Amino acid sequence: MFDGLKEKLGRFKSDAEESVEEAAEDAEAEAEEAAADAAASEAGDDAEVAESSEPDTETVEPDAAEESDAESASAEPSDSEPEDEDESAAGLASRAKSFARGRVVIDEEDLEEPLRELELALLSSDVEMSVADEILDAIRDDLVGEERKFTESTGSIVEDALEDALLSVISVGQFDFLERIEESEKPVVVIFTGVNGVGKTTSIAKLSEYLADHGFSSVLANGDTYRAGANEQIREHARNLDRKLITHEQGGDPAAVIYDAVEYAEANDVDVVLGDTAGRLHTSDDLMSQLEKIERVVDPDMTVFVDEAVAGQDAVNRAREFDSAAEIDGTILTKADADSQGGAAISVSHVTGKPILFLGTGQGYDDIERFDPEELVADLVED
């Protein structure tokens, strides 16, 4: 899962490590050169002191003394000489001092090229541009100007910075889905929305099985009353899972279907109502008005947006648009097992401010995983 993105992040780690280590080697060479220059200078000063301490038996003629004074005056440094050499020497001394303490300073120029390549890699993996910028800024802020132990693995330093940067954009608004179900008044009503063909109905069936595995009962409600075949599709899932299905005739009122499911759950002590809705675009005014009616009539506890991980930037854009049109509480990304890029998984939480809750990882009812940002990032950045 997300193997292409993992490979690109690995290249960044390798390139950044190589660049920083080259800078450290340059610092070592500069430190040795500075030490040699200092030793030579000290030896020269000692020689001058020894020479000046010898008795001077010569008598300096007045003319010669005047000439010596003139030469000394001409040897004095001019006020117009640039201070660049002093500044350069000071910088060299600072780096040499850091190196002598077993540490090295990472300069921005050390990371300039690796960060440029990382930006291209993220964008080519369908990571949203603002998300890519934030990742780069976080890495830059974490590494540049910091003193690092020279004996410490440079690779681990870069890896830690990359991991922190990714977590900062992925771990947004995270909450424990099961814990929220446990703590909420029953029945808990969860509505699912998204465009056609992204695996919304199958995700509902998977989530019903996931809830059963954790001790929660559920009833399915088919609020997709307009699509031909929608009733049969969800009915097949209900039969396979032995779940109660609430449905009306095609063309019925979606809000009425879900309302009936809530009444059934209340009468039969069912924990969760899982309500399907018609696939729609955020620009479909009539379908969006259906969601608004469901909100008024049923007042769902959660609205979950479903899209395909493989849709990449399209999924990110749709998540943003759906959240703007009908506020969502979280996202399920289907077909994550087939996605090598990972752009949607990296970006959706950041652009919506709402967490990814689950990843669909196959065709079976058990092929759904709770989304764990730390686990995902560790898998992406560790060798």
More confident residue, 224 or 26: 224
- Note the pLDDT of residue 60: 47
pLDDT at 62 exceeding the cut of 60: no
pLDDT for 108 equals: 75
Q: Closest Cα partner for 281 from 305, 302, 258, 254?
A: 305
Range of lowest pLDDT (84-98, 165-179, 190-204, 358-372): 84-98
Instruction: Give me the residue spans of the domains in the chain.
Output: 3-53+83-170, 177-373
Q: Examine the pLDDT at 272 and tell me if it is beyond 60.
A: yes
Smallest CA-to-CA distance from 211 within 233, 175, 231, 182 is with: 182
DSSP-derived secondary structure letter, 250: T
Q: Which two tokens stand for residue 95?
A: 């780096």
As a whole number, mean pLDDT of residues 166-171 equals 92
Q: Which residue has the higher pLDDT, 174 or 278?
A: 174
Contact at 8 Å (CB) between 291 and 192?
no
Residues 254 and 278: beta-carbon distance below 8 Å = yes
pLDDT, mean of residues 194-216: 94
Q: Which CATH architecture has domain 3-53+83-170?
A: Up-down Bundle (1.20)
pLDDT of residue 169: 92
Which pLDDT score is estimated for 84?
A: 54
Burial (0-12, 13-18, 19+ Cβ within 10 Å), 297: middle
Q: Are 323 and 305 in contact (CB under 8 A)?
A: yes
pLDDT (tens digit per residue) in 83-135: 555 555 554 455 555 554 455 667 778 788 889 999 999 999 999 999 999 99
Q: Are 267 and 157 in contact (CB under 8 A)?
A: no
> How high is the pLDDT of residue 48?
62
3-state secondary structure of 295: helix
Return the higher-pLDDT residue of 108 and 261.
261
CATH code for the structural domain at 177-373: 3.40.50.300
Q: What is the mean pLDDT of residues 208-212?
A: 97
22-31, 78-87, 140-149, 346-355: least confidently modelled range: 78-87
Are 128 and 343 contacting, i.e. CB atoms less than 8 angstroms apart?
yes
pLDDT at 16: 82
How does DSSP classify residue 229?
T
**Cβ burial, residue 289 (10 Å; 0-12/13-18/19+):** exposed
Contacts of residue 35, defined as CB under 8 A and 6 or more positions apart, other chains included, come to 96
Cβ proximity of 345 and 183 under 8 Å:
no
pLDDT for 321 equals 87
Q: What are phi and psi of 96, to 5 degrees?
A: -65, -40
| Bridge partners of residue 360, in order along the sequence | 368
Per-residue pLDDT averaged across 341-354, rounded?
91
Phi–psi pair at 369, nearest 5 degrees: -125, 135
- Which comes out higher in pLDDT, residue 95 or 186? 186
User: Alpha helix (H) ranges present in 53-153?
Assistant: 62-75, 84-100, 108-124, 129-143
Residue type, 381: V
Q: Which residue has the higher pLDDT, 66 or 23?
A: 23
User: Parallel, antiparallel, or unpaired for β 147-149 and 103-105?
Assistant: antiparallel
Q: How many residues does the chain have?
A: 383
Compute the 3-state secondary structure of the chain and give helix, strand, coil in percent, each to the nearest 5: 60, 10, 30
As a whole-number percent, the residues of the chain with pLDDT over 90 amount to 46
Q: Is the pLDDT of residue 80 over 60?
A: no
Region of poorest pLDDT, from 149-158, 185-194, 244-253: 149-158
Say how far apart CA 356 and CA 3 lie, in whole Å.
Answer: 19
pLDDT at 176: 93
Per-range mean pLDDT, top range of 6-20, 97-111, 152-166, 188-202 = 188-202
Q: Which pLDDT score is estimated for 124?
A: 92
Could you identify the residue written with the tokens 């749709």?
318
Higher pLDDT, 26 or 132: 132
Q: Which residue has the higher pLDDT, 144 or 257?
A: 257
- Residues in a beta bridge with 327: none
Work out the average pLDDT over 35-44.
63
Q: How many helices (H) and strands (E) does the chain have?
A: 14, 10
- Strand pairing partners for 245? 220
Q: Cβ(190)–Cβ(301) under 8 Å?
A: yes
The overall average pLDDT reported for the chain is: 81
Does residue 256 have a pLDDT over 80? yes
The pLDDT-based confidence of 63 (bands split at 50, 70, 90) is low
Structure-model confidence comparison of residues 32 and 102, the more confident one: 32
Question: What gap in Å lies between CA 280 and CA 197, rounded to an integer?
Answer: 10
Q: Compare 364 and 196 and report the one with higher pLDDT.
A: 364
Using the predicted structure, report yes or no on whether residue 26 has a pLDDT greater than 90: no
Q: How far apart are CA 151 and CA 118, in angstroms?
A: 26
Instruction: State the DSSP code for 227.
Output: S
